[in-house]
Chains A and B, each alone.
Chain A
Amino acid sequence: MQLVGSVRHADVLLVTGVPNRKTAVRLKRLYEQAAKPCLVVAIGQCALGGCIFTKSYNFVKPVDEIIPVAAYVPGCPPKPEAMIMGVVKLLNSLKGTK
């Protein structure tokens, strides 16, 4: 997995953390700037939407209500093995293999 400097060169967008009032708009804008197809992987309980910060005054919406999410990796935090497995499962599902 290679990290790139600009979202325009990215095939996959890994999203961690919970969108707040400052970041939610930027997240949407960032996704719109990405060359499609760009797959979004939500990593960690916060990005999945069901975390301890949902009752905060600064919480907006879960990530998948802002941008489309292709894969979810639960955990707080998810173990590295889980993250890798999530991405691998996603890639396999695209190739049509299990």
Chain B
Amino acid sequence: MSHRTIIPIGPYHPLQEEPELFRLYVEGEKVVDIDIVLGYMHRGIEKLSEAKHFDQVAFLVERICGICSNSHPFAYVNAMEDLAKIEVPERALFIRTIIAELERLHSHLLWLGLAGHFIGYNTVWMWSWKYREPVLDILETITGNRQHYAMMRVGGVRRDIGKEDIPQIKKMVNDLIPVLDMFKGAVMDDPVIQARTRNVGVLTQEEAINYCVVGPTARASGIAIDVRKDDPYGAYDKIKWEVIVQREGDIFAKLVVRVLEMYESIKIINQCLDNLPSGPIDANIKDIPAGEGIGRIEAPRGECFHYVRSDGTNSPMRHKIRAPSYMNVASNKVAAVGGTISDAAITLAAVDPCYCCTERTAVIEKKTDKKILNGWDLIELSRKKTEELKKRK
């Protein structure tokens, strides 16, 4: 079997000059203000949804994001099932949970690699992306695709998990445990990584509450919220697992939350596979009444929220979509300000937005209003700081 090295050639954006996503205003070494400019990926999906049939909407929202392409359809079908008070068959709930946790695994491994890349630990980058491949392979085996699984449907799932696939899935997730143990030792215990991430990019609990952040960003600041426990869906209230919380709110805390969550994901997947109920995978819904529904799920980045209103026709009258990063990225206004330029890249990346966000950064000297650095420069500065710290240890 040839071992493929996957080159990260997407989702890169062909933008490097202005206008930037993050404009960091600096005085000397310090970041004094930050302006966040959005809209580069705005495709008008909420409006497009109004022109699609309910069963087509799942395919549309899948393509909001390539990393958590399962989260949006999951939240959407939950909203529809809330609207129409649909009871989803048990087997489908378990299958949904397995797919969602596999997605959490590959998403956190992706982030781990990027974080390593930003602070100059390219081995961490290569390792985590290498160990991410088997997760994507399993998703491809079950669903037919590495991203955009087309698994969610209103009332159930589209494909079953075959009995013959279960040993393979279990082996793959259990093989990840020693890998995570290795990461824990190599990454979390490394003194230079600790020096780069402890007390850096701190989001206090108070600010985390003010910005209503979600997901690992919230849990790293001591806020014990997780939609899987608070407003259970899928099979999460039928199995045993823990919500991971840290207190310090710094980048190290965010790293610890994500690594420890991966162990919980493996626990969840194993229990779901061991207890997979038999029965149908779809409730065969034919009609959607008029009404409104809210669906939310715990995506890898936090609460993914969908609201759908139906007027009794075949299409949504209104579809509101709120991804977790919408809340989390805004908190960079306080997390990155007060820090240094060399910490900016990793601080912005710590809330786990998609890669293209941190790519398109510009640093502006506040007094002169002149742009002095871009996103690549920030990553370089970040790596230089790590080198300096390594020399001192």
Does A30 reach chain B (CB closer than 8 Å)?
Answer: yes
For chain B, give the interface size range: 20 to 34
Separation of A71 and B40 alpha carbons in the complex (Å): 24
Among B9, B13, B63, contact of A83 (Cβ-Cβ < 8 Å): B9
Q: Indicate if the CB atoms of A17 and B13 lie closer than 8 Å.
A: yes
CB < 8 Å neighbour of B51 from A18, A55, A83: A55
5 nearest CB pairs, A to B: A56-B44, A5-B376, A16-B10, A53-B43, A58-B44
Scoring A residues 12 to 36 as 1 if CB is less than 8 Å from chain B, else 0, what string do you get?
Answer: 0111111010110011011101000
A52: contacting residue among B13, B14, B59, CB under 8 A? B59
**Does B14 lie within 8 Å of A15, measured CB to CB?**
yes
The 0/1 profile, CB within 8 Å of A marked 1, for residues 315-337 of chain B is: 00000000000000000000000
Which among B4, B16, B45 has the highest number of chain A CB atoms within 10 Å?
Answer: B16
Check B17 against A30 for contact (C-beta < 8 Å). Answer: yes
Cβ B9 vs Cβ A52 within 8 A:
no
B48 within 8 A of A: yes
Known contacts A14-B10, A43-B10, A57-B44: A30-B15 contact under CB 8 Å: yes
> How far, in angstroms, from A30 to B16 measured CA to CA in the complex?
8
A89 within 8 A of B: no
Whether B270 sits at the interface, judged by CB under 8 Å, is no
Having A22-B39, A31-B14, one finds 14 other A-B pairs with CB under 8 Å, namely A14-B9, A14-B12, A15-B14, A16-B9, A16-B10, A17-B41, A20-B42, A20-B43, A23-B13, A43-B9, A58-B44, A59-B43, A79-B146, A81-B4
A62 within 8 A of B: no
A-side contacts of B19, CB under 8 Å? 22
Residues in chain A near residue B314, CB distance under 8 A = none
> In the bound complex, do residue B43 and residue A56 qualify as a contact, i.e. CB atoms below 8 Å apart?
yes
Nearest CB on A from B258, distance (A): 24
In the complex, per-residue mask of A65-98: 1 if CB is within 8 Å of any chain B CB, else 0: 0000000000011011101100000000000000
| A80 CB, nearest partner CB in chain B, Å | 5
Interface residues of A (CB under 8 A from B): 1, 3, 5-7, 13-18, 20, 22-23, 26-27, 29-31, 33, 43-44, 52-53, 55-59, 76-77, 79-81, 83-84
Give per-residue flags for B25-64: 1 if the beta carbon is below 8 A from chain A beta carbons, else 0.
0000000000000011111110110010000000110010
CB of B147 closer than 8 Å to a CB of A = yes
Determine whether the beta carbon of B12 is less than 8 Å from that of A16.
Answer: yes
A6 touches B14 (CB 8 A): no
A1 to B13, CA, bound (A): 17
Partner of B48, one of A3, A53, A77, A80: A53
| B66: interface (CB < 8 Å) | yes
Contact A7 B16, beta carbon cutoff 8 Å:
yes
Does B191 belong to the interface (CB within 8 Å)?
no
What is the CB-to-nearest-CB distance from A9 to chain B, in angstroms, rounded to a whole number?
11
